[in-house]
């Protein structure tokens, strides 16, 4: 048994094999072998080698093997041997002289493959066998000894060369560049085979030849030195492997197992082919040869002056002049053209006798199924060149109909004489083939021997004749071959025998002159050949370039021919190829060099700019109906503040479409900057043409909204600073005019205070009365647009009263008088005795007054008091103003008692009256804050940023604001209290909600053109908050969709509440999704509920993209769970795309709520939506059927879920009131209103159960 062990190649391991030859190739095989085997040799360095071998040359290499063995014996002085047997196995044997003492094991180390093999001798008296993985490879076999546990280095080394495997198959092909002398040898060697050269053997005539080739790249090589027309037989391929060991060559050959091949090269064509058309006399006897034909003496009859000729002779000018004929004409062939048999004559022709063999009559038309040489690779001499010909296109110049296929009249006696010279030597040939075609479907073929160089035949029918003479090589075992190349000529014989020569000259100097955008004139140079007409061929090169959806031209899409030199009906922007042919009767010349016509396109129309933001606009335009172009190129021209230069730059390129209207979004613009936009139409030409510079529009972008950075109020002056833009922009180059700082007060006498500031200054001071709440804004102004900062609510503390005086002091009262400062709701006056105790001070109550004059009564006579007057505005006190007053001494008289009693009674009555007035005023103030035209405070709005909200001062917002904040710790008790008596208190709150928004307008929804767009006639969007579509048209109603912005927890346009799309509004719905960049659509209904249609199926049914207007929608994925379905869409418009997540909750009944057991499910769904919404700031689109009930409930739950994470109270009434002030009937039913409270209880319970308050509610929610 043979044991194989892997060993690492050591530094002492020496490969004896070095490859010979300049190149080696190997095919990759299975196992661990590779495509290239690397050999190492100390003597020759490192070089790649690839090989293959054969066993037939064993006797040839015997001396080499003897020398190698002698060398090995001399080196090692041992009997250790390694050989390769007939099966390709490496055999290693030990002799008794190799055995040594203290050696525990013997092994051989075999190197040469990518890995080194170590094989141990099991029995030293038996040979060790190794099956080599590669054939034709040189292996190094070394003897190793083991003493103890370590193996020695190779003690003795022998090199062996394995035999390559034979070629599996081979083929021989014509060398296309020169098939007369060149061939391509292609072999298929086995895998894991190594060879350095290939021995090619073949028989040429009676001789056997061979040659060695080493340049076989990928099994192919080209040989260019064979003889034309020669038959090469018994061609074989044998692989040779070679190696060098100590400057001794090792060579081995593969066997030959493939079938020997035969190949004949193509012969050269005949030289100097010429023809004559001979008109025989009408008096000549039918069937007889004319006197002019060659006869025994080879002489022609002399032609005398004034003789009446019996024949006319015409000779082709382009051929070489014939030499004098010999005394005897040898090898002349004559035959009538309409005969199926031909007469080959190898002796002189007797022109005085009749034909030696009568031609059997046959039909004029040949069998169309019979193959003819014209069906081969021969080419019609007048045909369109391959680069211009399109056989699939009707109207091609070469597709002109042939002469009418009626039985032609018989021609007068006409004889065709052909002459040629032998092919260029050295050419092996046996004869010539003569082919005559008439009108492309009649064929006559004659074969003559190699000594015949003339041929005669009678032409009996009119038509277009094509004549060809080829060299024939057929002797030997190889297949017959004919010469290739165009040796044919063409002429036309008319019915009366007139001759029209072939046109070989192509039209020259063809030029095109455009007369206008749809007409061109063609001209060319005169021809030196006679012709009677010309043909102009026109085809559009741009017609088929766009896809069918982009097809914008329909003329010249297929080649059209005309005899006129004026081309009409051209399309602006298209490119045409024009080719001219000369015609001579039915004969057509070769085509001229093609001339390309590039027509400049017409420009776009109605280029319009629609602003989107300070840094983005939409450009829209229309293209002409009749135009062809490749793309639109949008360019911008503006002053670049970085380069300090203005130049036209390409912003975007849009592929041409069949749509008449096109648009593109332009972003990354500079705010308040002057821009020129130009849209050019670019053609397909090279170089392309473009038009037009006049398609330009100018625009000034809107300024960015300033950001108020600091506000400071001191001594009645408000100091404001602001910033503009994230990066500093030099405003000296912008179109910014100035800043406008505006403060709108709530109660002040003037209310509005403003100041204009130059554009280079970003600070202002504004005098404002103290004690009021101001809405402060900074507006950036250009000549065309404005942009206002986020409102900043400023609450100024009231100023203390000024100029406080005490007048009319008596023994029990004093009157205080002061000057008002700013805005004050009321004053508090408190007079404390100078020597009062702490208990007395605590018992004192301040006196409230709305006037700047107050009388303090009930004072102690002759006492000192410290009085303070404090201003109050919005329940905020000012710093008090102090004054010290003293009462006068009391005067005693009889009527004191009565007067005192009356005074006390009066004071009591006045106090009661004042108290009553204060209560009424407090209620009035409360109602003013809640019901006034410019209300500011609302808990649902206050929750977002902790600041008082900005009042837009729109008359449409004159509505009642409701609020009912509840601490979450008390919410469960609150809910139980509200649920008593059949939820009577819930009913009262919900009734109050019904009055919200009754005075808000919805004029756009009431327009007649918009009424069909509303699913329900009583659910209409408010005008001030409705979503407006961006439309390329200014048509009435084009911007309308039944949708409103709804404020959220994070910002004022966090949601879009809309109705379920109708079939006629689905396009508008997807337009809204794209324009608002909404990443999420929440659908809370099914398309059909209770057998009623609630919503249109506005998305694709399968994965095929569907166009909704100009927006394409593609369904990317869909996953379904028991209560909701999650879909992912991809929207496309022009070259923009947007992915949208569609979450459809399917278990929510119309006008109702999910069951109590389903609260967990709906909250889990809300959490899934919120997880996705946190990744974007763009609005979420929410819809059910009407877009108010289920939609409002969902939005409320999403807002409350965010609110409860960060607050300890809720104001559900205030939140729903705010939602209803933006869209009618949000949270449509009382049942839905109560359901929100139930969900809040569960959310609060979940929050209390969490150990870490920052954890997200419902962690077990499935993630998309």
* pLDDT of 344 above 60: no
Residues 46, 39: contact at Cβ < 8 Å?
Answer: yes
CATH fold group of domain 512-599: Immunoglobulin-like (2.60.40)
Check residue 370 and give its pLDDT. 38
Instruction: Considering the domain delimited by 605-701, tell me its CATH architecture.
Output: Sandwich (2.60)
Q: Which phi and psi angles does 1236 have, rounded to 5°?
A: -60, -40
pLDDT(947) > 70:
no
Cis peptide before 687 (omega within 30 of 0): yes
Q: What are phi and psi of 1075, to 5 degrees?
A: -70, -35
**Equal CATH topology for 414-501 and 998-1256:** no
pLDDT band of 173, cuts 50, 70, 90: very high
The pLDDT, as a whole number, for residue 562 is: 82
The answer to whether 263 and 183 are in contact (CB under 8 A) is: yes
Can you tell me the mean pLDDT for 1054-1079? 95
| Model confidence band, residue 22 (pLDDT cutoffs 50, 70, 90) | very low
Highest mean pLDDT among 101-110, 684-693, 1065-1074, 1239-1248: 1065-1074
Domain 414-501 has CATH 2.60.40.10: yes
Window from 917-926, 1026-1035, 1155-1164 with minimum mean pLDDT: 917-926
For residue 66, pLDDT beyond 80 = no
Evaluate whether 621 touches 696 at the Cβ level (below 8 Å). Answer: no
Distance CA 427, CA 1245 (A): 106
The pLDDT assigned to 316 comes to 39
Residue 1158: band (very low, low, confident or very high) from pLDDT cuts 50, 70, 90: confident
pLDDT in tens, 802-843: 888 888 888 888 998 888 888 999 999 999 888 877 777 777
pLDDT confidence of residue 631: 87
Task: Give the pLDDT score at 728.
Answer: 56
Give the number of other Cβ atoms within 10 Å of residue 246's Cβ: 14
Q: Which of 14-18, 274-278, 1156-1160, 1244-1248 has the lowest mean pLDDT?
A: 14-18
Domain 81-161 architecture: Sandwich (2.60)
Q: What is the pLDDT of residue 781?
A: 92
Please tell me the predicted confidence (pLDDT) of residue 179.
94
What is the pLDDT at residue 659?
Answer: 83
Burial pattern 8-34, b for ≥16 Cβ within 10 A else e, equals eeeeebbbbbbbbbeebbbbebeeebe
pLDDT at 31 over 80: no
The domains of the chain are located at: 81-161, 169-258, 414-501, 512-599, 605-701, 707-790, 802-834+844-887, 998-1256
pLDDT at residue 165 tops 80 = yes
Structure confidence at residue 920 (pLDDT) = 66
pLDDT of residue 1197: 96
In this prediction, residue 39 carries a pLDDT of 31
pLDDT score for 602? 83
Helical packing angle, 1212-1220 and 971-993, nearest 10°? 20
Those residues with Cβ within 8 angstroms of residue 1004's Cβ, 6 or more apart along the chain or in another chain: 1010, 1021, 1023, 1026, 1037, 1040
Question: Which pLDDT belongs to residue 500?
Answer: 84
Tens-digit pLDDT profile for residues 1084-1124: 999 988 878 899 999 998 888 999 988 999 999 999 998 99
Best CA proximity match to 1015, nearest among 1070, 1045, 1057, 1059: 1059
pLDDT of residue 361 exceeding 70, the answer is no
More confident residue, 1059 or 299: 1059
What CATH number is given for 169-258 in this structure? Answer: 2.60.40
Q: What is the mean pLDDT of residues 169-175?
A: 94
Where residue 517 falls among pLDDT bands split at 50, 70, 90?
Answer: confident
Q: What percent of the chain clears pLDDT 90, i.e. is strictly above it?
A: 37
Whether 722 shows a pLDDT value over 80: the answer reads yes
Q: Tokens 């000779």 label which residue?
A: 315
Q: What is the mean pLDDT of residues 305-314?
A: 32
Q: Tell me how crowded residue 820 is: count the other CB atoms within 10 A of its CB.
A: 16
**Burial environment of residue 1192 by CB neighbours within 10 A (0 to 12, 13 to 18, 19 or more):** buried
Q: Which of 543, 781, 1184, 1239 is catalytic?
A: 1184
Sign of CA dihedral 201, 204, 206, 211: negative
The predicted structure's pLDDT at residue 893 = 58
CATH number of 998-1256: 3.90.190.10
Averaged confidence pLDDT in the chain: 78
Percent of the chain surpassing pLDDT 70: 77
3-state secondary structure of 73: helix
Pairing of strands 1055-1058, 1180-1183: parallel
pLDDT at 336: 41
pLDDT at 955 over 60: no
pLDDT tens for 537-576 read 898 888 777 665 566 677 788 777 888 889 888 888 888 8
Query: What pLDDT does residue 811 have?
Result: 85
Structure confidence at residue 798 as a pLDDT band (50, 70, 90): very high
Q: Coil, helix or strand for 1212? A: helix
- Per-residue confidence (pLDDT) for residue 545, from 0 to 100: 74
Tokens found for residue 722: 């602001």
Find the range with the poorest average confidence among 18-32, 64-78, 860-874.
18-32
Mean pLDDT, range 877-897, rounded to an integer = 79
pLDDT for the residue numbered 891: 66
Query: Does residue 410 surpass a pLDDT of 90?
Result: no
Arithmetic mean of pLDDT, 870-880: 92
Six token digits for residue 1227? 């949270």
* Per-residue pLDDT at 918 exceeds 60: yes
Reply yes or no on whether 138 is catalytic.
Answer: no
In CATH, what number does 802-834+844-887 get?
2.60.40.10
pLDDT, greater one: 916 or 655: 655
Residue 1201, CA distances (Å) to 149, 1080, 1263 in order: 77, 18, 17
**Residue 1045, both tokens:** 């912005």
Question: What is the rounded average pLDDT of the residues 390-397?
Answer: 37
Q: pLDDT digit string (tens) for 975-992?
A: 999 998 888 899 999 999
- pLDDT digit string, tens, across residues 88-119: 899 999 888 888 888 889 999 999 888 899 99
Measure the N-to-C terminal CA separation of the chain; round to a whole number of Å.
63
Task: Give the separation between CA 966 and CA 975, rounded to whole angstroms.
Answer: 10
Provide the pLDDT for residue 895: 60
- Topology given in CATH for the domain delimited by 707-790: Immunoglobulin-like (2.60.40)
For 1206-1229, what is the mean pLDDT?
Answer: 93
- pLDDT, residue 1191, reads 96
| pTM for this prediction | 0.43
pLDDT average, residue stretch 355-359: 34
Q: Mean per-residue pLDDT for 1037-1044?
A: 94
């Amino acid at each position: 048994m043979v044991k194989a062990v892997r060993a690492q190649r050591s530094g002492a391991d020496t490969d004896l094999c070095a490859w010979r030859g300049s190149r080696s190739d190997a095919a990759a095989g299975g196992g661990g072998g590779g495509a290239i085997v690397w050999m190492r040799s100390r003597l020759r360095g490192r070089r790649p080698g690839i090989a293959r071998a054969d066993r037939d040359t064993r006797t040839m290499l015997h001396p080499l093997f003897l020398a190698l063995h002698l060398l090995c014996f001399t080196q090692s002085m041992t009997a250790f041997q390694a050989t390769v047997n007939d099966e390709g196995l490496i055999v290693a044997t030990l002799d008794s002289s190799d055995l040594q003492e203290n050696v525990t094991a013997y092994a051989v180390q075999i190197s040469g493959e990518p890995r080194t093999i170590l094989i141990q001798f099991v029995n030293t008296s038996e040979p060790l066998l190794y099956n080599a993985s590669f054939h034709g490879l040189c292996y190094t076999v070394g003897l190793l000894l083991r003493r103890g546990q370590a193996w020695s280095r190779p003690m003795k080394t022998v090199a062996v060369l394995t035999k390559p495997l034979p070629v599996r198959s081979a083929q021989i092909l014509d060398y296309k560049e020169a098939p007369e002398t060149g061939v391509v040898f292609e072999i298929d060697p086995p895998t894991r085979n190594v060879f350095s050269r290939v021995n090619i053997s073949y028989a040429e005539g009676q001789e056997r030849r061979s040659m060695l080739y080493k340049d076989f790249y990928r099994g192919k090589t080209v040989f260019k030195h064979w003889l034309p027309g020669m038959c090469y037989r018994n061609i074989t391929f044998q692989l040779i492997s070679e190696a060098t060991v100590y400057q001794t060559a090792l060579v081995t050959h593969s066997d030959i197992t493939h079938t020997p091949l035969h190949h004949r090269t193509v012969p050269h064509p005949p030289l100097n082919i010429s023809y004559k058309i001979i008109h025989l006399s009408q008096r000549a006897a039918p069937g007889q040869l004319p006197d002019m034909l060659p006869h025994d003496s080879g002489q022609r009859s002399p032609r005398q002056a004034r003789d009446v000729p019996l024949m006319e002779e015409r000779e082709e000018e382009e051929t070489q002049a014939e030499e004098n004929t010999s005394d005897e004409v040898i090898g002349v062939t004559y035959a009538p053209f309409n005969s199926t048999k031909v007469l080959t004559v190898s002796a002189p022709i007797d022109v005085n006798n009749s034909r030696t063999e009568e031609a059997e009559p046959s039909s004029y038309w040949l069998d169309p199924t019979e193959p003819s040489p014209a069906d081969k690779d021969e080419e019609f001499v007048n045909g369109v060149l391959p680069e211009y010909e399109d056989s699939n296109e009707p109207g091609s110049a070469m597709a002109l109909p042939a002469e009418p296929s009626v039985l032609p009249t018989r021609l007068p006696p006409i004889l065709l004489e052909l002459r040629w010279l032998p092919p260029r030597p050295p050419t092996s040939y046996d004869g010539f083939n003569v082919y005559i075609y008439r009108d492309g479907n009649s064929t006559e073929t004659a074969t003559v021997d190699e000594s015949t160089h003339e041929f005669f035949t009678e032409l009996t029918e009119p038509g277009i004749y094509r004549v060809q003479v080829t060299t024939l090589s057929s002797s030997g075992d190889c297949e017959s071959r004919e010469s290739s190349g165009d040796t044919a000529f063409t002429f036309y014989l008319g019915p009366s025998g007139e001759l029209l020569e072939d046109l070989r000259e192509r039209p020259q100097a063809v030029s095109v002159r455009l007369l206008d955008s749809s007409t061109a004139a063609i001209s060319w140079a005169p021809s030196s050949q006679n012709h009677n007409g010309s043909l102009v061929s026109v085809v559009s090169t741009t017609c088929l370039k766009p896809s069918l959806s982009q097809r914008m031209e329909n003329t010249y899409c297929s080649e059209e021919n005309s005899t006129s030199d004026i081309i009409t009906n051209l399309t602006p922007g298209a490119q045409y190829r024009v080719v001219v042919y000369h015609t001579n009767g039915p004969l057509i010349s070769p085509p001229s060099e093609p001339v390309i016509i590039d027509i400049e396109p017409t420009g776009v129309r109605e280029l319009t700019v629609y602003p989107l933001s300070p840094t983005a606009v939409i450009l829209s335009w229309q293209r002409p109906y009749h135009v062809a172009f490749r793309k639109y190129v949008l360019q911008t021209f503006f002053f670049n503040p970085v380069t300090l230069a203005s130049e036209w730059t390409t912003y975007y390129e849009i592929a041409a479409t069949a749509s008449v209207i096109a648009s593109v979004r332009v972003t990354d613009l500079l705010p308040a900057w002057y821009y020129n936009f130009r849209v050019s139409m670019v053609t397909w030409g090279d170089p392309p043409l473009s038009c037009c510079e006049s398609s330009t529009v100018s625009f000034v972008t809107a300024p960015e909204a300033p950001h108020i950075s600091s506000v400071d109020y001191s001594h009645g002056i408000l100091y404001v600073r602001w910033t503009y833009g994230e990066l500093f922009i030099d405003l000296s180059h912008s179109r910014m005019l100035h800043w406008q700082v505006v403060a709108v007060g709530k109660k002040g006498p003037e209310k509005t205070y403003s100041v204009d500031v130059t554009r280079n200054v970003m600070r202002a001071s504004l005098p404002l009365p103290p004690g009021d709440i101001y809405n402060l804004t900074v507006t950036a102004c250009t000549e065309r647009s404005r942009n206002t900062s986020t409102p900043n609510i400023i609450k100024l503390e009231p100023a203390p009263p000024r100029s406080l005086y005490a007048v009319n002091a008596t023994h029990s009262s004093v009157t205080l008088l002061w000057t008002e400062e700013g805005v004050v709701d009321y004053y508090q006056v408190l007079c404390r005795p100078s020597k009062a105790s702490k208990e007395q001070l605590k018992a004192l109550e301040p006196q409230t007054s709305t006037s700047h004059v107050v009388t303090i009564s009930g004072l102690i006579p002759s006492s000192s008091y410290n009085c303070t007057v404090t201003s109050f505005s919005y329940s905020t006190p000012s710093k008090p103003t102090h004054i010290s007053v003293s009462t006068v001494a009391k005067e005693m008289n009889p009527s004191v008692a009565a007067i005192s009693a009356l005074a006390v009674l009066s004071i009591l009555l006045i106090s009661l009256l004042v108290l009553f007035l204060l209560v009424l005023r407090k209620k009035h103030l409360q109602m003013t804050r809640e019901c006034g035209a410019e209300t500011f405070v609302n808990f649902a709005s206050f929750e977002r940023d902790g600041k008082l909200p900005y009042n837009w001062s729109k008359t449409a917002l004159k509505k009642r604001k409701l609020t009912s904040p509840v601490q979450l710790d008390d919410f469960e008790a609150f809910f139980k209290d509200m649920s008593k008596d059949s939820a009577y208190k819930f009913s009262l709150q919900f009734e109050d909600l019904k009055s919200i928004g009754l005075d808000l307008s919805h004029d756009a929804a009431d327009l007649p053109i918009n009424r069909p767009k509303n699913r329900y006639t009583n659910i209409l969007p408010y005008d001030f908050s409705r979503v407006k579509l961006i439309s390329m048209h200014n048509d009435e109603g084009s911007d309308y969709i039944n949708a409103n912005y709804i404020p959220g927890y994070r910002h004022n346009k966090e949601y879009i509440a809309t109705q379920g799309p109708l079939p006629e509004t689905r396009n508008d719905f997807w337009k809204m999704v794209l324009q608002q960049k909404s990443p999420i659509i929440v659908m809370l209904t099914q398309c059909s509920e209770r057998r009623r249609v609630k919503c249109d199926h506005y998305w694709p049914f399968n994965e095929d993209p569907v166009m909704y207007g100009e927006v394409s929608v593609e369904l990317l994925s869909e996953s379904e769970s028991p209560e909701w379905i999650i879909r992912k869409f991809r929207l496309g418009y022009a070259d923009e795309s947007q992915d949208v997540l569609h979450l459809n909750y399917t278990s929510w009944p119309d006008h109702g709520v999910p069951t109590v057991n389903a609260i967990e499910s709906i909250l889990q769904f809300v959490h899934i939506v919120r997880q996705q919404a946190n990744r974007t700031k763009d609005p979420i689109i929410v819809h059910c059927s009407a877009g108010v009930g289920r939609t409002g409930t969902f939005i409320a739950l999403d807002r409350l879920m965010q609110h409860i994470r960060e607050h300890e109270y809720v104001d559900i009434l205030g939140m729903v009131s705010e939602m209803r002030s933006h869209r009618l009937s949000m949270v449509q039913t009382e049942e839905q209103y109560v359901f929100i409270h139930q969900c809040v209880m569960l959310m609060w319970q979940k929050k209390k159960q969490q150990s870490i308050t920052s954890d997200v509610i419902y962690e077990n929610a499935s993630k998309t």
